[in-house]
A and B are shown apart, each in its own frame.
Chain A
């Protein structure tokens, strides 16, 4: 006797449905179906699916066939019983039930169409809402960027306006020909700001870093973020010069002097 999976895989259930199983195997299969709930469930699913396929491919037969069928039955079977409450006539309840069936079918169709429409609308609204949320997030991010830029511009404006602010031009050497940065140092406020707009871009694995020279030792003022035009750096006390080097991405603890691209004495 085959096991459950072998029966499923062999296509025996489909053949059983079609009535194609030989008699000698039929008894065994029916016994298995009666005893094995999972196999019976599988067969029930196949039966239901085939019934659905048939209903989807139904073709309405002409009305006279039903009339002929009942006429033939009445002729052949004299002992036909009908339930008392439905004993009046076979045609009337059928017509009545057909009318109800039509109404029910129409209502079901309207319900289905409206449900489908609502589902489509809901789905579309959900998509719109998602798009709007994304747009809002983009706008929020743009506003944050603009606020950051405004803050930097205001800071730059405040620093420049301050009479105590000194301006230093850092011209690029032959490593960055044409490169240029402007540093604004305020010794009273102890602030340092650099406009790096004119510094040429670097490869993704490199960054500019600014250093203050204190007694021959290069002390980091910070990594220059090239995505911004104006960068606030750390003010270094007693620095005698400002220096810009090219360092690996993320900056270095010690300046790579060979990669010095610009400097200015304070």
Chain B
């Protein structure tokens, strides 16, 4: 049984130490997603806390046979952020939309949220496709409109991008195995 599984089981038994471990493991990754989605540092911090609160509250609903713990956590974070954005948008639209737009740009520039790692190695259209659905929280329908390409094309972009990610990670794993074999 892996350490993750032990911590998750303990987390489901409402063990604070396990929550602490899982927070240390995943808070950075989840915060990276939230901050890219909402582009607002203060809100992202609140949403991160709310995400872990919800996870703690609903821990009994997590079913390991249906997927990874991180994926489950990601979905909570995504929904929480989208709810925040919808609420925020409603509030702002009743006031002055131009103010919202200006503020948004300023916040984006101040946040260092450029993409790194394997994702940054993909072609620009593949990068954008994954960024829109994964980091911006858009549905496929919203994202294809945002990119200005037909839905079918957009879906192909996502499929191709996922395939390319697989290739990159598989190569990295191979290099690591080679290094380890050389060292043994």
Contacts and interface: CB of A to CB of B under 8 A. Distances in A.
Interface stretch (A62-70, A141-149, A152-160, A232-240): A62-70
A53 B118 contact: yes
Nearest to A8: B159
Chain A: interface size category: 35 or more
A83 interface: yes
A90 B16 contact: yes
A61 B45 contact: yes
A56 B16 contact: no
Contact of A72 (B53, B139, B158): B53
Chain B: interface size category: 35 or more
B164 to A, nearest CB: 10
A59 B130 CA distance: 18
A5 interface: no
A18 B138 CA distance: 10
Contacts of A124: none
Contacts of B159: 9, 11, 14
B83 interface: no
A14 B10 contact: no
A123 to B, nearest CB: 10
Given A11-B155, A79-B14, A34 B65 contact: yes
Interface of B: 10, 13-17, 19-21, 23-24, 27-33, 35-36, 44-45, 48-49, 52-53, 56, 65-68, 70-71, 74-75, 78-79, 113, 115-119, 130, 133-135, 139-140, 155, 158-159, 162, 165-166, 169, 175, 178-180, 182-183
21 contacts: A9-B159, A14-B133, A20-B140, A47-B70, A49-B118, A51-B71, A52-B117, A53-B118, A54-B33, A57-B135, A65-B48, A66-B20, A68-B49, A70-B20, A73-B53, A82-B16, A82-B17, A86-B17, A90-B17, A115-B183, A116-B179
